[in-house]
Chains A and B, each alone.
Chain A
Amino acid sequence: MSKTIIDVQNISKIFKITKRKTGFKGALANIFHPEHEYKKAVNDISFNIKEGEMVGFIGPNGAGKSTTVKMLSGILYPDSGNINISGYIPHKQRKEYVANIGVVFGQKSQISWDLSPLDSYEVIKHIYKIPDKKYKENIERFTELLDMRKFINQPVRQLSLGQRMRADIAAALLHSPKIVFFDEPTIGIDVVGKEKIRSFIKTLNKTDNITMIFTTHDMQDIEKTCERLIIIDDGKKLYDGSLDAIKSNYVSSRIIEAEFEQLPEKIDIPYVTVSDVDKNRMKKVITFDTGKTSINSLMSTLLNNYSIKDISVKEPEIDAIISDIYQGKIIVH
């Protein structure tokens, strides 16, 4: 059984926001009588993560994901609560602590705009005092895994977003950290690029036993890489558990997609909702609850009463489930 490496207890972070009034009168008012409000960006969140675990962190924009990651990285001070990561208190022992972690911010590049990735890596080598042998091994390995050979000597400003992100990820991992935080590493990246990043992250998690936290808006990222999922919204933790558990415990609805040969006048089956997919209305999506309607009887009703060309049963998309959770349609605990 692996040991707990990240221990977070009841952390909160409050931001003071200046309310800006618009217009000339508002600007004057801002100078003489500024109004503030306080926003709890993170509100009493606790969790534990074990060594080698890979945890997905999701939540809508402004949920407090990035703020949590920044507190875990030692950049921000929590207003209350305790963080203990691998024996360090991040914000108090910042300098010693950050030598042991890697952080990738999807929206902030860490490598120099004017230098090539390789030049930036040389600087990083000095900052982290990476031994020559390990440095060479890591560069070799990352270049291969992230497919960087083509652009490793080009100035960063000439790289595409996907290339830059891969270079950034390699930069954050050069010193072989045992814990890595990814804050939206796939933001704005095309499908192929995302796939490269996901497989790299997964490989590293498996082979090097690196503990990872991964924030994202793309549920595909989570499905393909993480076993555990933490959902936060409005600064609070909504769910902490496996992705499969969400699907099996909280989602009893299924979807049948059916293509009819003749347009049915009306489909009238209790507890079932029917919606159109395309304009010619030959294709219908039938949503039902497995607790109320048995799939057997529904299928036979459909097949016996209508002439159907094609039929398939699906689980709802994970995106739909998550959006239901965000909107409070599904209550998880």
Chain B
Amino acid sequence: MSTYIQFAAIKFRNNMAYRFEYIMGILNTVLSFLVYWCIYKALYGGANEIDGITFSMVTTNFIISLGLTNAFSKNEMFLQDKIKQGTIANELLKPVNFKFRMLFEDLGDGFFKVVFNFLPAVIIAMLFTEMMPPAGIFGFVLCLVSAVLGYIVLWYISFIVQTLAFWLFNVWGLITIKNVIVNIFSGALLPLWFMPQPVLNIIKFTPFDSIFFTPVQLYLGQLQGYEILLNFGRQVLWIAILYFIGELLWNKGIKRLIVQGG
């Protein structure tokens, strides 16, 4: 375990080396939040609520989704680049679990972004918008736990798309499509409250709403009693399913690995 934490720590330190990028990261987060805020301000047109959804709920949704998007950002070309350039050979020579190593490096990156991009951006956003406080300490803790589970769901979706590089070599296009799908169906682009019921019925059978939307609902205290358990259960179930698919693809892929060059 200490080895993997070391991987995360190295990534974290590497990020510190680029100060300009860090400042731009905060600016980027604040700006994209502002864009969403302005669009919804106009859509609400001065009204306080639409369909029972208040403007501050929408704002809170965006702040949390954006923050999580930030934390969840990862190098999705990692596996493809390693396979294309043949450097995967060096990685496989290390006595470590390749997936855990990837996961921990991404965690190191994500942790850096939460601390140095997201938190400053939230503080700035809170100064001039109406972000709601969490629904109690309990709700906040549940939100954090479910955010971690949501991260793992998203990470495995990305991992699965990345492993297709064993067959396709180039997965950039697939990753882009995956990102669009995740953005729409997870509620990061349009809060799921506003989705038409038929679409929501489909989403219920996908892992996407357990990425951002479950933590948002817990933060706002919208889930009660058994609903909380149900949502956590769905997150855990999706992690199990995705883990299984990822494992299958990885094991099949590594068998047909061709080390390029030399």
Contacts and interface: CB of A to CB of B under 8 A. Distances in A.
A94 B86 contact: no
B6 interface: yes
Interface residues of B, number: 23
A108 B3 contact: no
B12 to A, nearest CB: 14
Contacts of A76: 257, 259
A9 interface: no
B89 A96 contact: no
B6 A123 contact: yes
Interface string A95-114: 11011010101111010000
Interface in A10-49: 15
A291 to B, nearest CB: 42
Interface stretch (B93-101, B141-149, B201-209): B93-101
Nearest to A99: B95
Interface string A66-79: 10001001111100
Nearest to B87: A108
Contacts of B88: 75
A74, A101, A110, A183, most chain B CB atoms within 10 A: A110
Interface string A115-128: 00000000100111
B95 A108 contact: no
B258 A108 contact: no
Contacts of B6: 123, 126-127
A201 B47 CA distance: 78
A129 interface: yes
B92 interface: yes
Contacts of B86: 108
B262 A103 contact: no
Contact of B262 (A66, A77, A98, A101): A66
Interface string A51-77: 000000000000000100010011111
B2 interface: yes
A94 B99 CA distance: 14
Contact of A70 (B2, B3, B89, B96): B89
B197 interface: no
Interface of B: 2-3, 6, 10, 86-90, 92-97, 254-259, 261-262
User: What are the nearest 3 A-B pairs in CB distance?
Assistant: A107-B262, A99-B95, A126-B6
Given A108-B89, A127-B95, 19 more contacts: A66-B262, A70-B89, A74-B92, A75-B88, A75-B257, A76-B259, A77-B256, A95-B95, A96-B95, A98-B93, A98-B95, A103-B93, A105-B89, A108-B90, A108-B262, A123-B6, A126-B6, A127-B6, A127-B94
